[in-house]
Amino acid sequence: VDPAVNTSTIAVIVTSLGGPAARVGIIRLSGPSAVTIVGRVFRPKVKKKKRSASEWRPKSHVIEYGVVSDSHGNVIDEVLVVPMLAPKSYTTEDVLELQCHGTEVCLQRVLRACLEAGARLAEPGEFTLRAFLNGRLDLSQAENVEKLISAKSVAAADAALAGIEGGFSSLVKSLRTRCMELLTEIEARLDFDNEMPPLDLDLLMDKIYRMLHDLANELETANYDKLLQSGLQIAIIGRPNVGKSSLLNAWSKTDRAIVTNIAGTTRDVVEGNVSVRGVPVTLLDTAGIRETDDVVEKIGVERSEDVAKNADVVIMTISAAEGWTLEDTKLLERIQRNQTASGCSSPLILVINKIDRAPSDSYEWVNTCGFSFNKHIPTCAVNGQGIQELEAAIIEIMGLNTIPVSGRRWTVNQRQCEQLIRTNEAFVRLKSSVEEAMPFDFWTIDLREAKMNLRMIDGADLFDRILYSIYLQFKIRK
Ligand code: GDP
Ligand code: ZN
């Protein structure tokens, strides 16, 4: 932990750089000298001829317009200053934001002026870290800030916002309080059992069941959280000309959700983005897998096999006009052999495309082709028929049907999930200790363990905060 965390003033360009210049860019400062430092570089433009020569004193939450000068007194930008004075700021320290012109030249010059005037360049995530250290956010909320910044879909952003608003934090707090109350009650009986009324065991069990129920609700969101963060990769495979590209196009077109590209998915395959229950889905069209001697095409085939190998779901596409063919068998055998070899087999959906060419709803060969599919869906890629059913199949297979469609709901991340699992285990042990009428000492051991794990979730006291600041710094920087 930086021992100067409460004495240094940090500054950084908080808006993004590198892309095309935005009209406005923002530099943010936080710390006890933020006002003094900005006072050294900023000169407000006031109508009054006579401006007091005394030190610049901004009013909290009142915007000021003026110019920033470098150490030689040259004006380097026109800016708006937004002062948010302690404790009414994100970090609870004095925070000042300088709205500059958005070009990198302006921003870098103004930033340098601030650094020369006494600020230190902030590390990534350091403002959030200060907010956490100063008790403005607990650890779960701080993690959700990072989640929001990296959200790739509306649903992911909503979940992060719900986490920042503190619903999960207050639930954890409530669990901790309930834990402490039970502990007090039982510990009292450790010492003065004879003088106290007997424990109401039904009531106690009821409390334990309620806590287990709350924990189960939270744990249920962990899977969705993972999917919201990482998204799903769905490979569309099949022989040439069965309609894979058409399916991808039709599917992408029906989707009106805002989904940005997921980083690191640039491969030599065609991609489309859709979102299923808010989960960003990348569709991979593995153009034309088949046995071939042609070198170039062979590389293509291998890449396609690779894609299918790493996909979360594989959609095997065939043409209803031709039914199941020997080539389909060969292709799928090859894909499944690869999946078995790599030790991961993803769910398999059979799409029977071109149903407009062979209008029939009996596909008996599905059961005799020698493969088992999680679902088979008849489609017509040229008019989008069956795509809704395909989405429904994915929702069911990936367990997304437990997610409420509307209403903001936070999700628990991997770290929170692990602590919740340990808390849950402690409660389960407590339950059996009570049921088996074990000595009170055993009960208190489990309760203390549960309490400790709950405390680790939000980094409740200062000692935890310092410990977790190290964790948070590491997490943000990686
Ligand atoms: P791919 O090689 O598997 O990607 O197949 P394409 O998507 O390129 O489709 C091959 C041909 O089949 C194109 O002419 C499509 O218009 C046509 N096609 C695709 N899906 C359907 C369908 O559901 N019904 C009909 N009638 N034609 C389709
Ligand atoms: Zn294609």
Kindly report which listed range (103-107, 151-155, 227-231, 456-460) carries the lowest average pLDDT score: 456-460
Q: What does the pLDDT read at residue 182?
A: 93
Is the separation of the CB atoms in 122 and 11 below 8 Å? Answer: yes
Cβ–Cβ under 8 Å, residues 12 and 27: yes
Measure the CA–CA gap between 227 and 242, rounded to whole angstroms.
29
DSSP string, 66-115: EEEE-TTS-EEEEEEEEEE-TTSSSSSS-EEEEEEESSHHHHHHHHHHHH
Query: Which residue CA neighbors atom 25 of ligand 1 most closely?
Result: 354
Structure tokens at 465: 């905060």
pLDDT band of residue 259 (cuts 50, 70, 90) is very low
Closest CA to 173 of 423, 431, 457: 457
Q: What is the pLDDT of residue 208?
A: 95
Task: Give residue 48's pLDDT.
Answer: 61
Q: Which ligand 1 atom sits nearest the alpha carbon of residue 381?
A: 23
Q: What is the pLDDT of residue 468?
A: 65
Contact (Cβ atoms closer than 8 angstroms) between residue 156 and residue 228: yes
Distance 249 CA to ligand 2 centre (A): 10
How far away, in angstroms, is 355 Cα from ligand 1 center?
Answer: 11
Under 8 Å between Cβ of 449 and 428: no
More confident residue, 448 or 238: 448
Cα–Cα distance measured from residue 387 to residue 351, given in angstroms and rounded to the nearest whole number: 10
| Res 267 pLDDT > 50 | no
Task: Please tell me the distance from the alpha carbon of residue 199 to that of residue 279, in angstroms, as a whole number.
Answer: 47
Q: Could you tell me which of 379, 353, 356 has the C-alpha nearest to residue 243?
A: 353
- pLDDT tens, position by position, 398-434: 988 876 655 568 999 988 999 999 999 999 999 999 9
Query: What is the structure's pLDDT at 260?
Result: 42
Among 239, 241, 385, which residue has the most ligand 1 atoms within 8 Å of its CB, making it the best to mutate?
241
In the chain, pLDDT over 70 holds for what percent of residues? 83
Q: Tell me which range, 228-237, 254-263, 267-276, is most confidently predicted by mean pLDDT.
A: 228-237
CA distance 108 to 134: 29
Provide the pLDDT confidence category of residue 289 given band limits of 50, 70 and 90: very low
Give the nearest ligand 1 atom to 379 CA: 23
* Beta-carbon count within 10 A of 48 CB: 6
Model confidence at 368: pLDDT above 50: yes
pLDDT at 57 exceeding the cut of 80 = yes
Q: Who's near 267: CB < 8 A, 6+ residues apart?
A: 284, 303, 307
Tokens 């590491």 locate to: 474
Q: Per-residue pLDDT for 20 more than 90?
A: no
How would residue 1 be classed by pLDDT, with cut points 50, 70 and 90? very low
The number of the ligand nearest the C-alpha atom of 241 reads: 1
The stretch 9-26 carries a mean pLDDT of 90
Question: In the predicted model, what is the mean pLDDT of residues 242-267?
Answer: 63
User: Could you report the per-residue pLDDT of 342-364, keeping only the tens digit for each?
Assistant: 777 889 999 999 999 886 767 77
- Cα within 13 Å of Cα(30), Cβ side: 25
Q: Distances in Å between the alpha carbon of 58 and those of 42, 146, 233, 322?
A: 11, 30, 51, 76
Ligand 1 pocket (Cβ < 6 Å) reads 238, 240-246, 353-354, 356-357, 380-382
**Exposed, middle or buried, 140 (CB in 10 Å: 0-12/13-18/19+)?**
buried
Q: How far is the CA of 245 from the centre of ligand 2 (A)?
A: 4
Per-chain mean pLDDT for the chain: 84
Pairwise CA distance, residues 47 & 45, whole Å? 7
pLDDT grade, residue 254 (50/70/90)? low
> Would you state the structure tokens that stand for residue 228, as one six-digit string?
């919201």
pLDDT at residue 269, rounded to an integer: 60
Q: Ligand 1 centre and the CA of 411: distance in Å?
A: 40
Strand order in the sheet with 313-319: 270-276, 279-285, 232-238, 313-319, 348-353, 375-378
Phi-psi sector, 228: left (phi>0), alpha (psi -120 to 50), beta = alpha
CA distance 117 to 38: 8
Question: Quick one: pLDDT at residue 70?
Answer: 93
- At residue 277, the pLDDT reads 86
> At residue 290, does pLDDT exceed 60?
no
Whether ipTM tops 0.95, in short, is yes
**Integer CA distances (angstroms), 75 to 10, 66, 72, 327, in order:** 22, 10, 9, 72
Predicted confidence (pLDDT) per residue in 305-319, tens digit:
777 878 899 999 999
pLDDT over 70 at 285, yes or no = yes
Longest alpha-carbon distance in the chain: 92
The pLDDT confidence band at residue 24, using thresholds 50, 70 and 90, is very high
- Residue 261: the pLDDT is 40
Confidence of residue 255 (pLDDT cuts 50, 70, 90): low
Q: Quote the DSSP letter at residue 36.
A: H
Greatest mean pLDDT range, 89-93, 227-231, 261-265, 365-369: 89-93
DSSP character at residue 259:
B
Beta bridge partners of 96: 29, 83
The pTM assigned to this predicted structure is 0.72
Q: Cα(149)–Cα(139) distance, rounded to whole angstroms?
A: 16
Task: Write down the pLDDT at residue 263.
Answer: 35
Return the percentage of the chain with pLDDT > 90, whole number.
46
> What is the average pLDDT across 376-380?
94
Pocket test for ligand 1, best of 246, 269, 271 (most atoms within 8 A of CB): 246
Please tell me which residue, 236 or 470, carries the higher pLDDT value.
236
Nearest to 379, CA basis, from 409, 405, 359: 359
Confidence of residue 178 (pLDDT cuts 50, 70, 90): very high
Q: What is the pLDDT at residue 405?
A: 57
pLDDT in tens, 112-136: 999 999 999 998 888 988 888 888 8
Mean pLDDT of 210-223: 91
The whole-number pLDDT of residue 409 equals: 82
For residue 4, what pLDDT band results from cuts at 50, 70 and 90? very low
Name the nearest CA neighbour of 335 among 325, 344, 322: 344
For residue 195, pLDDT over 50 is answered with yes
> How many whole angstroms from 360 Cα to the centroid of ligand 1?
18
What's the whole-number mean pLDDT along residues 229-247?
Answer: 87
pLDDT at residue 313, as a whole number? 95
